[in-house]
Amino acid sequence: MIQARGITRTYQTHGSFTGDRTVRALRGVDFTLPDGGAVSFIGESGCGKTTLGKILTGLETFDGGELVVDGVELSKLRPRQREKYFRRIQMIHQDPYSALNPTRTVEATLGDPLRMRAREKAAAGEQAGSWRERAAELLTLVGLEPTAVLPKYPHQLSGGQRQRVVIARALTVDPTVLIADEAVSMIDVSMRLGILSLLRDLRARLGISLVFITHDVATARYVGDGGELHVIYRGEVVERGLTDEVILSPVHPYTQCLLSAVPVMRGLEEPGPDRTAPTAALDERTPTPGCLFQPRCPFAGAQCAEKHPVLVPFGLDAAGQGEAAAAEDGSGHVHACFYPESRRVVGVEVGAASA
């Protein structure tokens, strides 16, 4: 299980044109990923999704908050001990081509980590087996024909096959968590569904937990089904709840704008009746003391420019009054908005709108 509490990451950048800048990539992100569970993060470009993924795999540091893996707070560990935890959390990046060494065959790509894993297992007194057999097993698991792909170089494979090899390589270390960061966005559309199905399948068959990072609502809905969806705006989670609930009944105006931008499938569905759009373009440079979304929010009210809303259960007002739709353990549908309202913005099936 992974528990992230108040994860914060700030970058100081220096550019000859842009001058000195402070970028708050993550502002106090909390989430819990149960064993075998799924959690998705969705938000527009630059909202902090990849930074979060990298922090979870130890590729990036954070400057505030706690990361607890299987009950152990990682910052309390020595780097070598911490490394052991991070190795069980593997990331699948957006671009499968740059993720693979172009001069190495699939056999070499899988061989090194598998031999290392076999040595580790032998040292721990576990049965290791042959690395070649394991390579064939993993390639079959990810939907590839071992004898056909083992001698090939990355350029001899399609984008979808390359991403399957990347997933097989991630599986060589027997991970407990996979982090998929826009894992299909650079793959030909015809092969995307296969990769998404594979990720779902791995969760079901191997019990691997999944952190699914995307800007695409449809893929979050498909892969993150049954898990929680977190909507991030400028490094801050502004709405969280069960994936279907957030998509079908979003209550935060930013989520509603994000979902309204999803194209509908003409003939099969109609746009939701409450579609809306931001009133302005994103401007990260102007300070916003109140709600971060206020300069663009179509529903901003009197207090939005001055006060910063925090996450509260839907159904409770800022003073904690009302009937909450959240469970006592903090799960449930929560939002950071002074004027939340459930709106229907995703596609409605043709014929179902009036039902």
Ligand X SMILES: Nc1ncnc2c1ncn2[C@@H]1O[C@H](COP(=O)(O)OP(=O)(O)OP(=O)(O)O)[C@@H](O)[C@H]1O
Q: What is the CA angle 290-293-26, rounded to 5?
A: 85
Contacts of 334 (CB under 8 A, 6+ apart): 239, 240, 241, 311, 312, 313, 314, 326
46 lies in the site for ligand X, by CB under 6 A: yes
Binding segment toward ligand X, per CB under 6 A, in 45-53, 260-268, 312-320, 340-348 = 45-53
CB of 186 or CB of 248, closer to Mg ion: 186
Binding mask 299-318 for ligand SF4 (x = CB under 6 A): xxx--x----x---------
63 lies in the site for ligand X, by CB under 6 A: no
Residue 299 contact partner, candidates ligand SF4, Mg ion, ligand X, none, CB within 5 to 8 A by sort of partner = ligand SF4
222 lies in the site for ligand SF4, by CB under 6 A: no
Sheet holding 236-242, edge to edge: 89-92, 177-181, 209-214, 38-42, 228-233, 236-242, 334-335, 312-313
13 lies in the site for ligand X, by CB under 6 A: yes
CB of 214 or CB of 255, closer to Mg ion: 214
Rounded to the nearest 10 degrees, the angle between the axes of helix 106-123 and helix 131-141 is 120
Contacts of 21 (CB under 8 A, 6+ apart): 12, 13, 14, 15
- Quote the least distance from Cβ 352 to Mg ion, whole Å: 34
CB of 11 or CB of 289, closer to ligand X: 11
CB of 97 or CB of 339, closer to ligand SF4: 339
Residue 309 contact partner, candidates Mg ion, ligand X, ligand SF4, none, CB within 5 to 8 A by sort of partner = ligand SF4
Residue 291 contact partner, candidates ligand X, ligand SF4, Mg ion, none, CB within 5 to 8 A by sort of partner = ligand SF4
- Quote the least distance from Cβ 301 to ligand SF4, whole Å: 6
Contact 239, 336 (CB under 8 A): yes
291 lies in the site for ligand SF4, by CB under 6 A: yes
CB of 49 or CB of 169, closer to Mg ion: 49
CA dihedral 11, 16, 17, 21 (to 10 degrees): 20
251 lies in the site for ligand SF4, by CB under 6 A: no
HEC string of 289-336 equals CCCCCHHHCCCCCCCCCCCCCCCEECCECCCCCECCCECCCCCECEEC
Answer for which of 200, 293, 332, 346 binds ligand SF4 (CB under 6 A) is: 293
Separation CA 347–CA 343 (nearest Å): 12
Contact 53, 179 (CB under 8 A): yes
Sheet holding 19-33, edge to edge: 19-33, 2-15, 64-69, 72-73
Answer for which of 2, 47, 149, 180 binds ligand X (CB under 6 A) is: 47
45 lies in the site for ligand X, by CB under 6 A: yes
CB of 219 or CB of 249, closer to Mg ion: 219
Q: Which of 346, 180, 333, 194 is nearest to 257 (CA)?
A: 346
Structure tokens at 145: 């024909």
186 lies in the site for ligand X, by CB under 6 A: no
Structure tokens at 324: 């909450």
- Quote the least distance from Cβ 337 to ligand SF4, whole Å: 3
Binding segment toward ligand SF4, per CB under 6 A, in 156-164, 191-199, 223-231, 331-339 = 331-339
Q: Give contact residues for ligand SF4 (rule: CB under 6 A).
A: 252-253, 291, 293-294, 297, 299-301, 304, 309, 337-339
